[in-house]
Structure 1
């Protein structure tokens, strides 16, 4: 009969598709992992199809994976229920889009401290494609990113949508009614990195119009994009909400444009794993904070602020 440790090892080999990465995850050696998998396969039959670079579950392995997931989930629930402190303890490895850092991340941290005081938060700020890869590699537990990500191993919880606009320093672009796409791209454009949605949309707009932009500058740092815009180095293609103060102070302005841009849709995305049951609670808290932020933003618009 398989013990909990063997099921844990099996679970991580199946999840990460790698004996080596699973050994790092469960803090043991690769030979020890191989030995436990061999013992399981001796008892239950072939569980993995060995390939050149990774492993994949067989039909029998998929059956065992479902039971392993349930066993490990029950083990976590039991530990939480019997903890002497009555408090969930652990670390949430959180990936965050810099856009959210500028909007409501601090409120989320405050709400986490109140709701889950035993959970520390380890924050990594990155772009959405990198966070998707980090989730798949089990390098982070939860990501606030541009989503949803349609993978069966991941759960998505909607957070909010935010408009994107053409934004520039006053006087950079002549004010003469709604600007055409051609008029806009006579100036350098500044936006998110090349493997992100805003950049891809911008590139496709230019290609479909058969136009040649002067330059498209990209940066993973939103603060850098904003600074370049203020210093009149080009037109920023970013959400106005992240430069609310700069717009109010007159350092930047939203350009009237014929060409609209797609909203950014953010989700709280996490892997469906039994070993960190507080991750779903953190995603729910993020939804609450995002809803409060959106309601406050709507109230400010109604009041003309």
Structure 2
């Protein structure tokens, strides 16, 4: 009968669709991975279809995966129950959109410290497409990103939605408001990178209107976008929530414009894996913090 280690190896090969990536995950060699899979297939039949770049589960493999997940989940539950103090330890590899860094990330860290004092949080600030790829590659445990991500291997929990608007320094725009898209395009625009939803929506608005595009500057750094707006280098296309202080002081203002922009909808997204049972609880904490922040606005 298969032992826990073989089931763990099988689980990671099935989840990552790769012998190489599974070997990195469980910290062993590819020949050792192959040997364990061969032993399982000798006992249960063919579990994987070998392809040029990856592997795919057979029908037998899908059946075994269900049992493997149950065995490994029970093992994790047993370990937590017998830990003595009950205190979970480990590291949460967290990816965060910079927008949320400016809103409530510090409150989330405080709640995590209070509820999971044994968990360290390793934070990566990045754009959502990069964080999605990192989740799939098992380089992140949890990400607060623009979602949901419709992949069967990922779980999404809704966090909040924030409006996006055209924001500029006073005096930069002299046209009468509300501004048409044509008036807006007389000025440079500054927004998120090209592979993000705000940029794509902005580009599509211009294409549908059959207008000549203005300069559209992009940056992965929200702080850079805001600074460019303050220095009158263009109109920012960002959530006003991240520049509350600048709006209150009059350094920036929200422009009244006819084209409406979609809200940014954020989710707490994580891969369906068994080795970090505190990840789902971290997503729950993020939901609570986001809800409290939204209610206080």
Q: Residues 175 and 183 of structure 2 are in contact (CA less than 8 Å); yes or no, is this contact kept in structure 1?
A: no
Q: Residues 188 and 213 of structure 1 are in contact (CA less than 8 Å); yes or no, is this contact kept in structure 2?
A: no
1:175 Cα shift? 5.2
| Structure 1: gaps of 5 or more residues | 298-305
Cα distance in 1 for residues equivalent to 2:162 and 2:175: 25
2:290 is aligned to 290
2:15 is aligned to 15
Cα distance in 2 for residues equivalent to 1:150 and 1:257: 32
2:159 is aligned to 159
Aligned length: 297
1:85 Cα shift? 2.4
1:150 is aligned to 150
1:24 is aligned to 24
Cα distance in 1 for residues equivalent to 2:156 and 2:196: 18
1:177 Cα shift? 2.2
1:64 is aligned to 64
1:48 Cα shift? 0.5
Cα distance in 1 for residues equivalent to 2:256 and 2:214: 20
Is 1:109 the counterpart of 2:104? The answer is: no
1:45 Cα shift? 0.5
Secondary structure in 2 aligned to 1:65? helix
Secondary structure in 2 aligned to 1:139? coil
Cα distance in 2 for residues equivalent to 1:200 and 1:176: 26
TM-score (norm 2): 0.99
Cα distance in 1 for residues equivalent to 2:75 and 2:185: 57
| Alignment deviations for residues 70-92 of structure 1 (CA, whole Å, 9 cap, x no partner) | 11111111000000222011111
Is 1:5 the counterpart of 2:1? The answer is: no
Is 1:232 the counterpart of 2:232? The answer is: yes
Is 1:95 the counterpart of 2:95? The answer is: yes
Cα distance in 1 for residues equivalent to 2:10 and 2:255: 55
Cα distance in 2 for residues equivalent to 1:210 and 1:225: 26
Which residues of 2 match residues 118-267 of structure 1 at below 5 A?
118-174=118-174, 176-267=176-267
1:279 is aligned to 279
- Per mean C-alpha deviation after superposition, the further-off stretch among 1-10 and 269-278 is 269-278
Secondary structure in 2 aligned to 1:195? coil
1:73 is aligned to 73
Secondary structure in 1 aligned to 2:144? strand
1:82 is aligned to 82
Q: Residues 70 and 274 of structure 1 are in contact (CA less than 8 Å); yes or no, is this contact kept in structure 2?
A: no
Cα distance in 2 for residues equivalent to 1:68 and 1:272: 13
| Alignment deviations for residues 109-132 of structure 1 (CA, whole Å, 9 cap, x no partner) | 000000111111111111111111
Q: Residues 187 and 213 of structure 1 are in contact (CA less than 8 Å); yes or no, is this contact kept in structure 2?
A: no
Cα distance in 2 for residues equivalent to 1:13 and 1:182: 53
Q: Which segments of structure 1 move beyond 3 Å, counting only runs of 4 or more?
A: none
